Structure 1
Amino acid sequence: MRFDPPTVPTRAIIYCRISRDREGAGLGVERQREDCEALAAQLGVEVVAVYSDNDLSAYSGKPRPGYRQLLDDLRAGRADTVLAWHTDRLHRSPAELEEYIDVCQPRDVQTRTVKAGALDLSTASGRMIARQLGVQARYEVERMVERQRRTRDQMAQRGVWFGGRRPFGYEADGVTVREEEAALIREAAHAVLAGASLRAIAADWNQRGIRTSTGSEWEGAEVGAMLRRPRNAGIVRHRGEEAGPASWPAVLEEPLWRSVVAVLTDPERRTTPGNERKYLGSGIYLCGVCADGTTMRCTTSSATSGGHRVPDYGCRRRKHLTRRTDPLDDYVTLILLDRVARLDAADLLAVEEDPVDVAGAQADIQQARATLDSLAAALGAGEMDMQEWRVASQAARARMERAERTLAGAVRADPVAALVAAEDPTEAWNGMDLSRRRAVLASLMTVTVLPAPRGRRPGGGYFDPSAVRIEWKR
């Protein structure tokens, strides 16, 4: 295509953009830049800046730093020509086009493209052509989005993987199980049910050299997001909801996965990093003065030992009861380990008195999904309106929710089991992270801290075991 050079020398800014960088190396915008530089040489203009937005869509509405800098430079008069590979690289939104016109028209900024020629925004006919090109570009994008959504709907119905980065636990095809990672997922699921925190699991994996599918170290939040994935149970997730069985094998049985999700989404579960418990009895030990279930928390004592402040347990509500953390935790641990080391320790294990009908709950979920699919097809075919669909689908959704709640409680891990089964309970206790120790303590004991007399005890120490009341829950 032949271009008429401008009548006066100009300063140009090149703008490049690609919506999706499949190669991951910015090669798309690099090719655009080379073509625009060739156009600049043909026009005889000086390129004063090059801005690009790689892997950013103009349709999505996400901020484009390069494009915003382009507009700022034009407003400041740093250039009077914009060079782009095509008009749709600049904008695919009518609102963005109008802003671009408002910037360019009063400043006589020229727009030249490699593939679509020049845009004359100084005349009504030129602006009309620009708007028509914008409408056409918008139409193409919306039609593409509709095709993509329809394709994804069909893929979800067939249980096909949508693609993307390799999921942890599976090979790059998203279907083949990577057994060593699947074993880690199962290990983490049982650990969560046994009381382990996500941060503890992440720290353990990082220490063992286990990395994410992208090669990064784990964070607690990433472990939680990975464990909550429906794909772990062989379920497709589409548009924020479970869409049915997947074509890939599950790495967790559905009851186990739903139990893990129930634990991780429990509103009572503390997830804020700053709230991570650092002491065995914080939030578990009870204040014996309040006598209404008020728990104790860890505070910093005003007393010093060797020039350092030492932590105390104190009543959460008032300052009427404090106790040094280490002696109290050591005593509670000693009593606990003595109990699990006895010959009758197996009696401590919880017994499931009312087993869950897993098969029945799974059948209810499948039937409810089939009903919802048929109702959705009827709605799409115009055989019922939205109000009729809401009424008809209500019962199926309620049935599915009841079955999901049933499965969420199907798997219960007893945190005490690891200690009871160990040949050396003390060694097993020492190998547990703090979150698991706290789960064992909360499961077995009610520890109430009572007021104690001041001064040394007859044996010479300050700790008074009689000021600690321990009641066994089992």
Structure 2
Amino acid sequence: MNHIAVHQPTGLIPVASYARTSEDVRQRDGHGVRHQLRINERTAHEHSCAVVATYSDNGRSASKDGVVRPGFDRLVADLVRGHTDGGQPIEGIVCVADDRLYRRAEDLARFFAALTSRPGRIYVDSQSVRDPYSQEGLLQAVRSLEAAVMETRVRSRRLSDWHWARAVEGVPHSGPRPFGRQEDRIALRPDEARLVEQAIAARIGGTAVRAIARDWCDLGVSGTRGGRPNAQTVTQIMTAPRVCGYRANKGQLLLVPETGEPVLGRWEPIVTPDRWQAVCATFSPGSLYLHRGSGAPGLTGRKRAAPSHLASGFLRCGAERRDGTPCHGALCAQAGRSKRSPYVYSCRSCGRCSISGPLADDALEQLLFTETHECVRLPEPVRRRWRSGEMGLEEKRKITASVITCCNVRPGVKGDHSWDYSRVQPVWRWADRVAPSGATA
């Protein structure tokens, strides 16, 4: 999301330009939103308008619940107040298509209420200039929403059917390679497969999974995405049906209709089905891959405890291991021993890093609202609701996740009880793809 102050030629209507892409997984350079913004410039020129501000959301879905779109939120806020941060009036909006702006009824209502909050505004797309105040203008928006919802449903069903068809044929999962497999997801990677086999044997023998994870970390093992192993990831690796050659889809073992036997994948198994069942029996059902893997349904009637602190899940250990590499394990909340720190965040992987819970939460909140971080500055309406106490913890965490990937926590100094906010170092989610405020798109 960014703003551009542009000289407004005499007689041209000042409009805001919005662009959005759902995914940016290949080039990760924001080319999709850049192309849309260029098209918007051309469209505005063709209809005697001038773009005075741009707003963009790169790699953000508009159809999924809970996805925060800061660019869209900033656009709505500026439409309501009638001008940009620089005081430039906004008299309309230009966008390549309606579904870039909204794919849910809630967003349609928010956008049209903001757009028509002042008289005389226009809506410009590649086809024409529309009157958002007229009945036809509203009906056209509703028709676009219905088409977008139907397209989303059809696309979701096609994708689900495609994955199911591949699964029943024993084709490996798409995405990153599983731990223990080569890039083809079929042949074994001997060093990793040996670790998995040994871990399963140790777990069946009574070894704690945290001890197995620590051993892997001490050996310098990293996951297929570069992360450090922890108890949860090791559990998922050991209890995934693929380790014994079985194929699952959306948290369920696939069975051959004629025989009722599990569908076998095309890859080499690491252990026998009996060993896989034995290691699964050492865990509670809610910990198994089939209940926690990608797309897996939760247990019926089982409610997972919601995080009770702002920084839960965002903090990563910045301590060094014996081999000199950073731990990067997750810091988990647990009870503290003082009134000043009734809870603390500690690394369960290496145990070498801990930080006061209130300190970490305060540091994270300060990072979100520090004016020097313009590329991730949150809209003023969000700031006001957050500061006033109107916003609940769940919404605060969603907003935090929209701008911060994680925070690396530097270990404290033994005996130093002062609060050092600089220990919490953010990894900004937008830093590599969103220009600071005032920069050109």
Quickly name the TM-score band, shorter chain normalised.
Answer: 0.5 to 0.7
Displacement after TM superposition at 1:212 (Å): 0.5
Q: Is the CA contact (8 Å cut-off) linking 2:63 and 2:104 kept in structure 1?
A: yes
Q: Is the CA contact (8 Å cut-off) linking 1:9 and 1:45 kept in structure 2?
A: yes
What CA distance in whole angstroms lies between the structure 1 residues aligned with 2:230 and 2:123? 47
Q: What amino acid does structure 2 have at the position aligned with 1:28?
A: G
Displacement after TM superposition at 1:248 (Å): 2.0
What CA distance in whole angstroms lies between the structure 1 residues aligned with 2:14 and 2:222? 49
Q: What amino acid does structure 2 have at the position aligned with 1:68?
A: D
Are 1:14 and 2:13 an aligned pair?
A: no
Q: Which residue of 2 aligns with 1:263?
A: 282
The structure carrying a bigger helix percent of its residues is 1
What CA distance in whole angstroms lies between the structure 1 residues aligned with 2:100 and 2:230? 37
Q: C-alpha deviations, 1:118-174, integer Å up to 9, x for none? A: 442121111112221222222222222222222222222212234112211112332
Q: C-alpha deviations, 1:282-333, integer Å up to 9, x for none? A: xxxxxxxxxxxxxxxxxx9xxxxxxxxxxxxxxxxxxxxxxxxxxxxxxxxx
What CA distance in whole angstroms lies between the structure 2 residues aligned with 1:24 and 1:197? 41
Are 1:251 and 2:251 an aligned pair?
A: no
SS state of the match for residue 15, structure 1? strand
State the aligned residue count: 265
What CA distance in whole angstroms lies between the structure 1 residues aligned with 2:169 and 2:32? 33
Q: Which residue of 2 aligns with 1:122?
A: 133
SS state of the match for residue 13, structure 1? strand
Are 1:131 and 2:135 an aligned pair?
A: no
Q: What amino acid does structure 2 have at the position aligned with 1:247?
A: R
Are 1:110 and 2:125 an aligned pair?
A: no
Are 1:56 and 2:68 an aligned pair?
A: no
Q: Is the CA contact (8 Å cut-off) linking 1:169 and 1:185 kept in structure 2?
A: yes
**Unaligned stretches of 5+ residues in structure 1:** 273-299, 301-474
Q: C-alpha deviations, 1:405-443, integer Å up to 9, x for none? A: xxxxxxxxxxxxxxxxxxxxxxxxxxxxxxxxxxxxxxx
Q: Is the CA contact (8 Å cut-off) linking 2:76 and 2:110 kept in structure 1?
A: no
What CA distance in whole angstroms lies between the structure 2 residues aligned with 1:218 and 1:167? 13
Alignment CA distance shift 1:221-1:183 (3 Å): same
Q: Which residue of 2 aligns with 1:156?
A: 167
Alignment CA distance shift 1:214-1:268 (3 Å): closer
Q: Which residue of 2 aligns with 1:47?
A: 52
SS state of the match for residue 55, structure 2? strand
Displacement after TM superposition at 1:206 (Å): 2.0
What CA distance in whole angstroms lies between the structure 1 residues aligned with 2:104 and 2:287? 44
Q: Residue 77 of structure 1: which of 69, 78, 82 is its match? A: 82
Q: Residue 206 of structure 2: which of 195, 212, 215 is its match? A: 195
Displacement after TM superposition at 1:40 (Å): 4.5
Q: What amino acid does structure 2 have at the position aligned with 1:71?
A: V
Q: Which residue of 1 aligns with 2:5?
A: none
Displacement after TM superposition at 1:60 (Å): 1.9
What is the TM-score of this pair, normalised by structure 2? 0.54
Alignment CA distance shift 1:35-1:152 (3 Å): same
SS state of the match for residue 263, structure 1? coil
Displacement after TM superposition at 1:75 (Å): 1.9
Q: Residue 236 of structure 2: which of 202, 225, 231 is its match? A: 225
What CA distance in whole angstroms lies between the structure 2 residues aligned with 1:89 and 1:165? 29
What CA distance in whole angstroms lies between the structure 2 residues aligned with 1:122 and 1:7? 25
Q: Which residue of 2 aligns with 1:282?
A: none
Alignment CA distance shift 1:47-1:170 (3 Å): farther
Q: C-alpha deviations, 1:382-412, integer Å up to 9, x for none? A: xxxxxxxxxxxxxxxxxxxxxxxxxxxxxxx
What is the TM-score of this pair, normalised by structure 1? 0.51
Alignment CA distance shift 1:119-1:233 (3 Å): farther
Q: Aligned residues: percent identity?
A: 25
Q: Which residue of 2 aligns with 1:355?
A: none
SS state of the match for residue 160, structure 1? coil
What CA distance in whole angstroms lies between the structure 1 residues aligned with 2:287 and 2:141? 56
Alignment CA distance shift 1:202-1:33 (3 Å): farther
What CA distance in whole angstroms lies between the structure 2 residues aligned with 1:110 and 1:76? 16
Q: What amino acid does structure 1 have at the position aligned with 2:278?
A: S
Q: Flag the structure with larger Rg.
A: 1
Displacement after TM superposition at 1:267 (Å): 8.6
Alignment CA distance shift 1:212-1:70 (3 Å): same
What CA distance in whole angstroms lies between the structure 1 residues aligned with 2:271 and 2:27? 33
Pairs within 5 Å for 1:441-452: none
Are 1:236 and 2:247 an aligned pair?
A: yes
Compare relative contact order (CA 8 Å, sep 6+) and give the higher one, 1 or 2: 2
What CA distance in whole angstroms lies between the structure 2 residues aligned with 1:137 and 1:126? 17
Q: Is the CA contact (8 Å cut-off) linking 1:94 and 1:135 kept in structure 2?
A: no
Q: Is the CA contact (8 Å cut-off) linking 2:80 and 2:117 kept in structure 1?
A: no
Alignment CA distance shift 1:135-1:252 (3 Å): same
What CA distance in whole angstroms lies between the structure 1 residues aligned with 2:132 and 2:273? 60
Q: What amino acid does structure 1 have at the position aligned with 2:76?
A: L
Displacement after TM superposition at 1:63 (Å): 2.0
Q: Is the CA contact (8 Å cut-off) linking 2:235 and 2:287 kept in structure 1?
A: no
Q: C-alpha deviations, 1:27-75, integer Å up to 9, x for none? A: 32232233334445554424324231x2222222232322222222222
Q: Is the CA contact (8 Å cut-off) linking 2:15 and 2:49 kept in structure 1?
A: no
Q: What amino acid does structure 2 have at the position aligned with 1:249?
A: E
What CA distance in whole angstroms lies between the structure 2 residues aligned with 1:14 and 1:179? 53
Q: Is the CA contact (8 Å cut-off) linking 1:234 and 1:248 kept in structure 2?
A: yes
Alignment CA distance shift 1:29-1:49 (3 Å): closer
Q: Residue 37 of structure 2: which of 22, 30, 33 is its match? A: 33
Displacement after TM superposition at 1:186 (Å): 0.8
Q: What amino acid does structure 2 have at the position aligned with 1:23?
A: R
What CA distance in whole angstroms lies between the structure 2 residues aligned with 1:199 and 1:8? 68
What CA distance in whole angstroms lies between the structure 1 residues aligned with 2:265 and 2:99? 38
SS state of the match for residue 67, structure 2? coil
What CA distance in whole angstroms lies between the structure 1 residues aligned with 2:286 and 2:78? 49
